[in-house]
Structure 1
């Protein structure tokens, strides 16, 4: 075979492969999409991922399979998602605020949310609320601050664990309010809440789904929400900033990203499916009842939100002197 013939054969083969790839992308999706997340089942991230994934599957005509990869402050799931094939069939439900905290609190990791992924869309905020034992005399944030200042170092605050948003929110509150209060970390809300209700700690920033049943049972009291705006499901509960701690805001941002190199056709299809899911009034109502505010954010704007979260929580971790292994 002549060199010319070999060159023509190679060119033909390349053209065929290219056409096959284009056809595959044009037919997206022709198989299930895997949505990886960094937290175990039944938590806020898992609930959100499954609810949105179900609605996405209805518009795509393909199922969305949720894959839980918890551990190491979210870095195990992040690594798994970054190393997944960038073929449009693998996405990551990013708990952006948690990822920003983990990036600053843990030693440098081999992957990074901002460097190894492309934003698809922001999907929700799932803010925490400031709760206290019902036995505590404080009825609002200012009364809590007065109480804490009256006995420096004698009160505790519970958290979901070192380096979590629950922990860092309290550190921000502690610094902004000028109070001296001791950190008592737990392994998640389920372990922290019994002691909080018993009065072992005086306050905690916790997720609405986890704490609300105890609020309704009269064992906890809500003083404020940590978000920048009031929550629709709790319209009478002020934000921490409204309660006299200006500048305090922790929206707890969530969104969907894809590994770098994911085809643009797949990104466009994913965006369309996400938008359709978030437009569902049934889903919006169901999520709102669980303390989740669905909020669609286009990719370009979502990228800016991610950058801002990393800046904000990077500073918070540094100022709180949080370093984890």
Structure 2
């Protein structure tokens, strides 16, 4: 028939053009050094993922690739550097969800716009958050922790890596859903808060699984619950908050890659292909799983939709709780 034949011919004609675009994008990316900006210090999940991406791109394109730990201002210094970079695919930003979905509401005077200055490339990985306490705390489970907080309103404190961080907001939502009043103690990063919790100065912490897991395994922390929809394989005996009786706090932490606005679409498509190959490699998956991270790839427009959805979900919580950046 005529119409199917024409459609078939059109599709066949489009294939060489698509292949040419892919080849051009590959050649463009192979033409220079990569810089992966990680806006947080070495040693955490952002740094781990940035180095995995950097090593993978270096191997793929036989080009130098560096990780630039451009830290400070809750990640905003590194994000600013990425915003100003040339939009050719050679400078990429690895960033946690909070900088994309929380800061725009928390910090209305940001010098960057997530949608105006960046284009979403892909998410990389996700991890559970854990509610844990110093072993000396007289609460062996979430119900006992809530009862303790209700008996001493506003005195049972928890550490987070900063005002408005996703972990701070997880604590706010937990307290709201549990009907308990927990006292937030903000630190400049998770390591400082973690030290105080293990030292007994602060009784409780809400942190990412990769950061807390070694200390839970060593007995320096007692895990009470994970703030995810399901239990994590690394802590199979630790219940979810829903299983512990607190509904509506099914939260995980995730990390993604952004590129400067204006990066050509064929280059973005090539990078998405490369990212899927790098992170779905069995060795990469095994390496990340040891650190409590699960590979989780959402690409392009779908990743952008996820960012917008979570931004809209966090905004009323920030506003209703009167949370302001410090």
TM-score if structure 1 supplies the norm length? Answer: 0.87
Please list every run of 5 or more consecutive structure 2 residues that lacks an aligned counterpart in the other structure: 1-21
Question: What's the CA shift string for 1:209-260, capped at 9, x where partnerless?
Answer: 3222222221210111122332232233222233211110221121112111
Which residue of structure 2 lines up, in the alignment, with residue 122 of structure 1? 123
TM-score if structure 2 supplies the norm length? Answer: 0.87
Contact 2:98 2:165 (C-alpha < 8 Å) held by counterparts: no
Against the structure 1 CA distance between its residues 79 and 186, is the aligned structure 2 distance closer, same or farther, given a 3 Å change threshold?
same
Which residue of structure 1 lines up, in the alignment, with residue 28 of structure 2? 28
Query: What is the alpha-carbon distance in structure 1 between the residues aligned to residue 151 and residue 23 of structure 2?
Result: 70
Which residue of structure 2 lines up, in the alignment, with residue 318 of structure 1? 319
Query: What is the alpha-carbon distance in structure 1 between the residues aligned to residue 310 and residue 98 of structure 2?
Result: 6
Query: What is the alpha-carbon distance in structure 2 between the residues aligned to residue 109 and residue 169 of structure 1?
Result: 22
Query: What is the alpha-carbon distance in structure 2 between the residues aligned to residue 198 and residue 41 of structure 1?
Result: 23
Displacement of 1:64:
2.9
Against the structure 1 CA distance between its residues 115 and 126, is the aligned structure 2 distance closer, same or farther, given a 3 Å change threshold?
farther
Which residue of structure 2 lines up, in the alignment, with residue 176 of structure 1? 177
Query: What is the alpha-carbon distance in structure 2 between the residues aligned to residue 96 and residue 161 of structure 1?
Result: 14
Query: What is the alpha-carbon distance in structure 1 between the residues aligned to residue 325 and residue 225 of structure 2?
Result: 29
Query: What is the alpha-carbon distance in structure 2 between the residues aligned to residue 246 and residue 170 of structure 1?
Result: 13
Which residue of structure 1 lines up, in the alignment, with residue 18 of structure 2? none
Query: What is the alpha-carbon distance in structure 2 between the residues aligned to residue 64 and residue 141 of structure 1?
Result: 45
Displacement of 1:148:
1.3
Which residue of structure 2 lines up, in the alignment, with residue 286 of structure 1? 287
For the pair shown, the structure with the greater C-alpha radius of gyration is 1
The answer to whether 1:259 aligns with 2:260 is yes
Displacement of 1:308:
1.6
Structure 2 counterpart SS, 1:65: strand
Structure 1 counterpart SS, 2:116: coil
Question: What's the CA shift string for 1:73-115, capped at 9, x where partnerless?
Answer: 2221112111111112111112123332222222321212222
Q: How many residues in Structure 1 have an aligned counterpart in Structure 2?
A: 305
Query: What is the alpha-carbon distance in structure 2 between the residues aligned to residue 305 and residue 23 of structure 1?
Result: 30
Which residue of structure 1 lines up, in the alignment, with residue 5 of structure 2? none
Provide runs of 4+ in structure 1 moved above 4 Å: 22-26
Against the structure 1 CA distance between its residues 149 and 257, is the aligned structure 2 distance closer, same or farther, given a 3 Å change threshold?
same
Against the structure 1 CA distance between its residues 305 and 229, is the aligned structure 2 distance closer, same or farther, given a 3 Å change threshold?
farther
Which residue of structure 2 lines up, in the alignment, with residue 194 of structure 1? 195
Query: What is the alpha-carbon distance in structure 2 between the residues aligned to residue 137 and residue 47 of structure 1?
Result: 35
Displacement of 1:25:
4.7
Contact 2:25 2:270 (C-alpha < 8 Å) held by counterparts: no
RMSD value over aligned CA atoms? Answer: 2.1
Contact 1:166 1:204 (C-alpha < 8 Å) held by counterparts: no
Which residue of structure 1 lines up, in the alignment, with residue 155 of structure 2? 154
Contact 1:107 1:324 (C-alpha < 8 Å) held by counterparts: no
Query: What is the alpha-carbon distance in structure 2 between the residues aligned to residue 318 and residue 201 of structure 1?
Result: 26
Map residues 1-325 of structure 1 onto 2, 5 A cutoff: 25=25, 27-29=27-29, 30-325=31-326
Once structures 1 and 2 are overlaid, which stretch shifts more, 104-113 or 86-95?
A: 104-113
Which residue of structure 2 lines up, in the alignment, with residue 14 of structure 1? none
Question: What's the CA shift string for 1:116-155, capped at 9, x where partnerless?
Answer: 2111111111332110111122222122112211222232
Once structures 1 and 2 are overlaid, which stretch shifts more, 95-104 or 84-93?
A: 95-104
Contact 1:97 1:310 (C-alpha < 8 Å) held by counterparts: no
Query: What is the alpha-carbon distance in structure 2 between the residues aligned to residue 194 and residue 215 of structure 1?
Result: 13
